[in-house]
Amino acid sequence: MNSFIEELRWRGMLQDMTPELEEHLSKGMASAYLGFDPTADSLHIGHLVGVMTLLHFQRSGHKPFALVGGATGMIGDPSFKSAERNLLNKETLDHNVSCIQSQLAKFLDFSGSTTNKAELVNNYDWMSQFSFLDFIRDVGKHITVNYMMSKDSVKRRLEDGNGLSFTEFSYQLIQGYDFYHLWKNENCSIQLGGSDQWGNIVTGTELIRRMGSGSAYALTVPLITKADGTKFGKTEGGSVWLDPEKTSPYAFYQFWLNVSDQDASKYIRIFTTLDKETIESLEAEHAEAPHLRTLQKEIAKNVTIMVHSQEDYEMAVKASEILFGKSSTEDLASLDERTFLQVFDGVPQVQLSKEEYSSFGSILDLFGEATQGVIFASKGEARKMIQGGGVSINKEKIGDPNAVLTSSLLQDKYLLVQKGKKNYYIVEVK
């Protein structure tokens, strides 16, 4: 049985833990849970640190529980948030829980007959059985208001002037009860979480001590930061999601490909399952030729395959290479419309009607009045550049300006015109 703690240590994934946890894990298979907030129907890459923590826990021979907060998602965790969130209804939460489970199945083994197979639990299943009076009588009496007020997440909300609703204030008590419930019914003795969850987690260990006279343990992982101080997992377009409908595999791949050298060394340990020897070898290779971005390519490859598929990874690589000229008409035609438009996001576009497009007798006509001022200033300029070998349509070099326009429309409506090495234009026929 591999040491889970040692694995987290060398990967830079250990922030804090309660005493005796390492000894507890050394005695044999243990169970731990980590909670996921189901306020969206997809996880984003900010959740991946927790997912990878559970993955390493299972790989170390222990049993992971993934808890989706069907009940707590209706409230919202106030931990280091500046304002109260919108509350979701049961139907929306059920849909989100289902989507999250299918994403987790790519990382954790929920099948088979092994004793440490992963399990998914939803705290709505037990919290919905409580009446308000039962909860404050049976659970609330064990934790004082003074204890709850001492948590940093609560103090910060009170100090910043925004205040804290009773609904949010009760969150740590409900999360604490989750831990007690899993400890009592599933022999789950450890809760894992981000470092901002420490206060909520130890409320659970305290409840277990007071309600069950038992022992339980906590372990937190660091909150991921970027070297430039900006928030990890956010782009100009918003969060980077695991759902390919929200963030395409190409955009997902590009996110990892574009991380800084400083961050790449940290992220390759956290977000891949590569071993220490392999990572150190890649770092040495990267140090010799940083411009080749060896680390970034390896992270992007591993994470894209793990979250999406080998096929999606290959498509993302192909799409990325198109921008740098290492591609053919066939490569371009193989892209779906969404990926094509993302690859060439921001390039000048011109729209033509099908009638206009059908009327062109030659390639030169394409660069006439209908597209003038966007691609070329005049037909004369276009003719000169075509004859000089500086124009391609759909990645195919054009030699004769008077030749018939035979290029097939990509996705039945696009032409990609390249002028020189770096200037692209999209002609949309609609």
Residues serving a catalytic function are: 39, 44, 47, 81, 85, 175, 196, 231, 234-235
Q: Determine the Cα–Cα distance for residues 130 and 136; give it in Å rounded to an integer.
A: 10
Q: Determine the Cα–Cα distance for residues 203 and 169; give it in Å rounded to an integer.
A: 13
Which helix (H) or strand (E) is 255 found in, with range? helix 249-257
Instruction: Judge whether 36 and 100 are in contact, CB under 8 Å.
Output: yes
Positive or negative: CA dihedral 52, 56, 59, 62: negative
Tally of helices (H runs) and strands (E runs) in the chain: 21, 13
Residue 234, annotated as binding a ligand:
yes
Tell me the one-letter amino acid at 423: N
Alpha carbon distances (Å) from 175 to 86, 189, 197, 204: 19, 14, 10, 7
Alpha carbon distances (Å) from 3 to 57, 66, 189: 9, 20, 17
Other residues' Cβ atoms within 10 Å of the Cβ of residue 303: 23
Q: Of 188, 200, 216, 161, which is closest to residue 75 (Cα–Cα)?
A: 200
Q: Determine the Cα–Cα distance for residues 405 and 362; give it in Å rounded to an integer.
A: 5
Q: Which residue has the tokens 């411009």?
A: 291
Instruction: Judge whether 72 and 174 are in contact, CB under 8 Å.
Output: yes
Instruction: Judge whether 3 and 206 are in contact, CB under 8 Å.
Output: no
**Positions of E strands within 195-259:** 217-221, 234-235, 238-239
Give per-residue burial for 17-48: e unless 16+ CB within 10 Å, then b. Answer: bbeebeebbeeeebbbbbbbbbbbbbbbbbbb
Alpha helical stretches, state H, 274-420: 276-288, 294-307, 310-322, 329-333, 337-343, 354-359, 363-366, 379-387
Residue 33, annotated as binding a ligand:
yes
Helix axes 171-186, 198-212, angle to 10 degrees: 50
Which residues are documented as binding site for ATP?
A: 234
Which residues are documented as binding site?
A: 33, 171, 175, 234
Which residues are documented as binding site for L-tyrosine?
A: 33, 171, 175
